[in-house]
Amino acid sequence: MPVAPLSDAEFTWVRDRIAGFCGLYFDQELKYLVERRLLRRLEARHLRSFGEYLLYLQRPSAGSQELSLLVENLATNETYFFREDFQLRAFREEILPEIKARKEATGEHRLRIFSAGCSSGEEPYTIAMLILESQAFSDWKVEILAGDISATMIEIARRGIYSAASFRVTDEYYLQKYFTKLNGKYQILPAVKDLVHFNVLNLLLAEKSPPLLNLDIIFCRNVIIYFNLESKRQLVAQFYRLLREEGFLLLGHSESLMNLSTAFRLRHLRHDLVYQKPPHEGKD
């Protein structure tokens, strides 16, 4: 028997439940997408209606796990190596040298970076390759932390094996230097992989993860565009607390902190505009 269409009330309930859980928000015009993805979960659970599925989500014994699986089905995972090159040039040529000079003046040799919403790992591995290429941090403790709400994407990232679609803008130089061919695909080398630590992570709860404290740089690119206003503000405030003084926040090219936060200052670098956590008042 065909499943009855998802009602507006059912859509609103699911949408709000997802937004409260992880911040992802779906407007009314995306109801068709939510309905299609919900149908997959109905079939997986052998349920006969969306109403039954909503009741299943409310069960204490299974609801939270099922909600995570639903979010995996709904999340957008479009990514590739060396995405938004202009920002990566700012990172490589301006941000990294600035951080190094500031830390060397105090005798500190530790660099901590967080890739928020890392999907299948192309972004944090790109960051690692750029750091290795700079040769400026060879005697430093470099930690690249990467998190995504999708356990499936994190597993792919940990494997570090990619098809041609992930290299649509990657220079052949990086393929030859940092990958090996494996059954028609490319596997990232251990020298890169060892710099990155992946974890399944709900970004709205990132502050509860102790390894994410005292960060120098947060990459959160093309992520907050999928959040509702309240979740965006919550996430940005959390990033502010996780960053060290003078740490950097890098957003996607279509994202900004307008109407979200006034805590950061906007830096006009040569290659891009980035956000920076200011030092405490009175500090030079």
CA dist 86 and 272 (Å) reads 6
Domain boundary residue among 74, 94, 119? Answer: 74
Last residue of a domain, one of 22, 48, 74: 74
Is there a single domain that holds both residue 61 and residue 163? no
pLDDT at 1: 64
Q: Would 283 be classed as within a structural domain?
A: no
The answer to whether residues 120 and 172 belong to one domain is yes
Would you say the pTM of this structure is higher than 0.85? Answer: yes
Is the same domain home to 35 and 111?
Answer: no
List all residues 6 or more positions away from 182 whose beta carbon is below 8 Å from its beta carbon.
161
Q: What span, in angstroms and rounded, lies between the C-alpha atoms of 91 and 77?
A: 23
Q: Has residue 135 been placed in a domain?
A: yes
Q: Are residues 268 and 158 in the same domain?
A: yes
What distances in angstroms separate CA 254 from CA 42, 164, 223, 224, one per listed residue? 35, 26, 10, 10
In 3D, which of 14, 153, 142, 138 has the Cα closest to residue 76?
Answer: 153
In whole angstroms, give the CA distance from residue 152 to residue 164: 19
The reply to whether 79 falls in a domain is no
Phi, psi values for residue 65, rounded to 5°? -65, -40
Q: Do 90 and 231 belong to one domain?
A: yes
My answer on whether 178 and 100 are in the same domain is yes
38 and 137, same domain (yes or no): no
Evaluate whether residue 148 is within a structural domain: yes
**One domain for residues 26 and 95:** no
H or E stretch including 182?
strand 179-182
Query: Confidence band (pLDDT; 50, 70, 90) for 63?
Result: low
In a domain, 282, yes or no: no
Active-site option among 83, 148, 221, 272: 148
- Verify that 124 and 14 share a domain, yes or no: no
CATH code assigned at 24: 1.10.155
Residues 225-278: pLDDT tens digits? Answer: 999 999 999 999 999 999 999 999 999 999 999 999 999 999 999 999 999 999
Task: Please indicate, yes or no, if residue 195 is contained in any of the structural domains.
Answer: yes
* 24 SS3 class: strand
- Is 220 among the domain residues? yes
- Does residue 40 have an active-site annotation? no
Residues 163 and 137 reside in one and the same domain = yes
Same domain as 53, residue 121: no
Rounded mean pLDDT, 7-12: 96
CB-count exposure of residue 143 (10 Å: 0-12, 13-18, 19+): middle
Give the number of domains in the chain. 2
Residue 252 CA to residue 171 CA, distance in Å, equals 21
Which tokens hold the place of 56?
A: 């299943």
pLDDT digits (tens, 9 = 90+) for 97-136: 999 999 999 999 999 999 999 999 999 999 999 999 999 9
What CATH number did the domain enclosing 183 receive? 3.40.50.150
Taking only the tens place, the pLDDT of each residue in 171-217 is: 999 999 999 999 999 999 999 999 999 999 999 999 888 789 999 99
Structural domain boundaries, residue 62: 8-74
**φ/ψ bin of 116: left (φ > 0), alpha (ψ from -120 to 50), beta (otherwise):** beta
Query: Residue 283 pLDDT more than 70?
Result: no
How many residues does the structure list for the chain?
A: 284
For residue 69 the two structure tokens come to 């699986």
Please confirm, yes or no, whether 139 is among the known catalytic residues.
no
Out of 48, 74, 100, a domain closes at 74
CA distance 83 to 167: 10
Q: What angle do CA 13, 17, 20 make, to 5 degrees?
A: 140
Which is catalytic among the residues 37, 45, 89, 158? Answer: 37
Q: Are residues 96 and 153 in the same domain?
A: yes
pLDDT in tens, 70-107: 998 888 788 999 999 999 999 999 999 999 999 999 99
2 lies in some domain: no
Distances (CA, A) of 232 to 114, 123, 214: 17, 21, 21
